Amino acid sequence: MMTGLAIQTAGAYVGELPDMPIEPSWIIEGAPTARGTVLVQSADKLLSSGLWSCTAGRFRWEFSWDEFVHVLEGEATITEEGGESYTLRAGDTAHFPLGLSTQWHVPEYVRKAFTLRTPEPFEL
């Protein structure tokens, strides 16, 4: 009996990730270069998972989705608007809720795996 359900897979990503630029008006310091890609998505495109990396810099980030991250390399210090700061390093996992405003400081480089839950289908 066919249900239309199927497992999606993505092999190990090799090479440089495609550009996924930070909104220029959000950059506070430096020239951070962000790259990323979605590797798998749910059929309705409301859940997406992939990889993202960023070079040194400081920038604002406003979450227009719920995001879970697992840091693979490097580190970033993320400060909630008017709140706590968290330094995430390789092996750390975090959740950023929809609507959260943050400031990111990437001292050298960070690479993370992410899973997004978006209110609307996520198209790149």
What does the pLDDT look like over 48-57, one tens digit per residue? 999 999 999 9
Q: Confirm whether pTM is higher than 0.75.
A: yes
Q: What gap in Å lies between CA 101 and CA 113, rounded to an integer?
A: 20
Coil, strand or helix: which one is 74?
A: strand
Q: Is residue 47 part of a domain?
A: yes
pLDDT over 60 (residue 117): yes
What does the pLDDT look like over 6-50, one tens digit per residue? 899 999 999 999 999 999 999 999 999 999 999 999 999 999 999
Q: Is residue 105 part of a domain?
A: yes
Q: Is residue 9 part of a domain?
A: no
Q: Is residue 1 part of a domain?
A: no
Domain span holding position 85: 24-117
Q: Is residue 109 part of a domain?
A: yes
Number of structural domains the chain divides into: 1
pLDDT over 70 (residue 2): no
The domain that contains 82 carries what CATH number?
Answer: 2.60.120.10
pLDDT value of residue 102: 98
